[in-house]
Structure 1
């Protein structure tokens, strides 16, 4: 599987450096995800309504939004659950 990271994802992740969830999220998206052969192997995964290829992973109070197209995973956002629910819209994730 190929992994891509949108600039918004990298910015969101940098903003989390001072939180306790930072290392867990970083390990998941940069190392653990490479060992996954199927999406069903990812814990706390949920398919999002509205787009056929949009998913989110829940890690504590944070949500990681990503898209899957064929053999490519594109990480789009990582947000605190109170900031706003992650909603897919036109190929990207937005804060509403």
Structure 2
């Protein structure tokens, strides 16, 4: 069953919205990491055990890596759908 141009256009719109959300989530993820790194430094400066806080930084970074991979997949899907919806006209010559 073929997918209509209208359906592809809606899919493209949906994927672009997902890409915007992914970009926002990634930026917020970096902010969380920076705040947590600040907390680690505060703990260390105060002579406190910072191992759990450091572990959280690593987990946040791993999560962010997965979000960035997912963003790449969204970009690939957007590119594919753009070709389906907005094909480049062929030139004759």
Q: TM-score range by the shorter chain?
A: under 0.3
Higher relative contact order (CA 8 A, sep 6+): 2
Instruction: Give the TM-score normalised by structure 1.
Output: 0.25
Question: Normalized per residue, which structure has more strand?
Answer: 1
- Could you say which structure has the larger radius of gyration? 2
Question: Normalized per residue, which structure has more helix?
Answer: 2
